Amino acid sequence: MLVLGIESSCDETGVALVDADGPGVPRLLAHALHSQIEMHQAYGGVVPELASRDHIRRVLPLARQVLADSGRALAQVDVVAYTRGPGLAGALLVGAGAACALAAALGRPVLGVHHLEGHLLSPFLSADPPEFPFVALLVSGGHTQLMRVDGVGRYELLGETIDDAAGEAFDKSAKLLGLGYPGGPQLARMAEFGDATAFDLPRPLLHSGTLDFSFAGLKTAVWTQARKLGTEVCEQDRANLAAATQAAIVEVLLKKSLKALQSTGLKRLVVAGGVGANRALREQLNTACARRGVRVHYPELSLCTDNGAMIALAAAMRLQAGRAEARRDYAFDVKPRWDLAAV
């Protein structure tokens, strides 16, 4: 079964082809990605209307590239999958429209999938895929959640952020430090040269006793510190503040993940979403988990942020597990707001 997946929920257009023959983990045949980051940089964030228009320009050329790279013909595609939500409504509509038009032309069924389920399952495409059940730490630009995952479509929310997401905390702090958009990776690079102990930043909800997160207060604390430094701030101070910010975010993510592992008794952790690319987070999770006999799984670095591969994969795994049905119903709709636990 060949599944073509299309991702267009935000500022990345992604297309991929996976092969799901037999019961094993689907195999990624090819994927192609276009990031709009440069286009949005001038505005300091994603401009929804520009995003939609660019998805329109990119989606078919990317699909052609994926078919060429995989050596498959469009007519060989069995199912077309797309991101149904959550995300920007206009951006989602482009992927959904393209997927349904392709499927209708081919007479093949379509399946809309949940973007976060894509992130969550993306480590299955890595060289060291996980096994169910596991605790998932989902840390992306829009979400921060801890979940108990017992199988495809069997997700129990253990805790989540009550305000900003971890990726948002990285990006907003980076902006306060004068870094470009999206600042997460830049802040992480800058932090390498900083001394995290130079600033004392809060660890919101660290001892709340729950598995919930809060990052809005941290952003305010970074703002206060950045203002104190003033405009004549030297590079070392900025690097120190970047390091302190990263340390605060990573410590909360680490401690809450360990708490979730302890309370569920599970010995497996899956980290997914853009912040999962953070090196400090990976190092600290690896060390702490090794000490506790817990195995940690990550997506390949290139598949941490948005991509089409995770969407094709999520669709294929759902179909394999019998937890979704692809339909020849091309009257698509999208769900800009959509709770993963409700899927």
Site string for Fe ion, 129-148 (x = CB under 5 A): -----------x--------
- What size, in residues, is the chain? 343
* Ranges assigned E (strand) in the chain: 2-7, 12-19, 27-35, 79-85, 110-114, 134-139, 144-151, 154-160, 268-272, 295-297
Please calculate the CA angle 166-92-298 and round it to the nearest 5 degrees.
40
Is 115 among the residues that bind ligand ATP (CB under 6 A)?
A: yes
Q: Indicate which of Fe ion, ligand ATP, Mg ion, none lies near residue 275 (CB less than 5 to 8 Å, by partner kind).
A: ligand ATP
Report in angstroms how near the CB of residue 215 gets to Mg ion at its nearest.
18
What are the structure tokens assigned to 179, written together? 């870094």
| Local structure of residue 213 (DSSP, 8 states) | B
CA distance 329 to 99: 12
Report whether 78 belongs to an annotated binding site: no
Report whether 322 belongs to an annotated binding site: no
- CB atoms near residue 130 (< 10 Å): 20
Site string for ligand ATP, 149-168 (x = CB under 6 A): ------------------x-
Report whether 11 belongs to an annotated binding site: no
- CB atoms near residue 189 (< 10 Å): 13
Q: Residue ranges of the alpha helices (H) in 107-154?
A: 115-121
Report in angstroms how near the CB of residue 155 gets to ligand ATP at its nearest.
15
Is 142 among the residues that bind ligand ATP (CB under 6 A)?
A: yes
Report whether 306 belongs to an annotated binding site: yes
Which residues on neighbouring strands pair with residue 145, listed in sequence order? Answer: 138, 160
Instruction: For Fe ion, give the closer residue by CB, 54 or 306.
Output: 306
Is 182 among the residues that bind ligand ATP (CB under 6 A)?
A: yes
Q: Look at the alpha carbons of 26, 28, 29, 33 in this order and tell me if their dihedral is positive or negative.
A: positive
Is 311 among the residues that bind ligand ATP (CB under 6 A)?
A: no
Instruction: For ligand ATP, give the closer residue by CB, 248 or 275.
Output: 275
Is 11 among the residues that bind Mg ion (CB under 5 A)?
A: yes
Element (H, E) at 264: helix 235-264
Q: Indicate which of Fe ion, ligand ATP, Mg ion, none lies near residue 36 (CB less than 5 to 8 Å, by partner kind).
A: none
Q: Which residues bind Mg ion (CB under 5 A)?
A: 10-12, 306
Residues annotated in a binding site for Fe cation: 115, 119, 306
Q: Which residues bind ligand ATP (CB under 6 A)?
A: 10, 87, 115, 119, 140-143, 167, 170-171, 182, 184-185, 188, 273-275, 277-278, 305-306
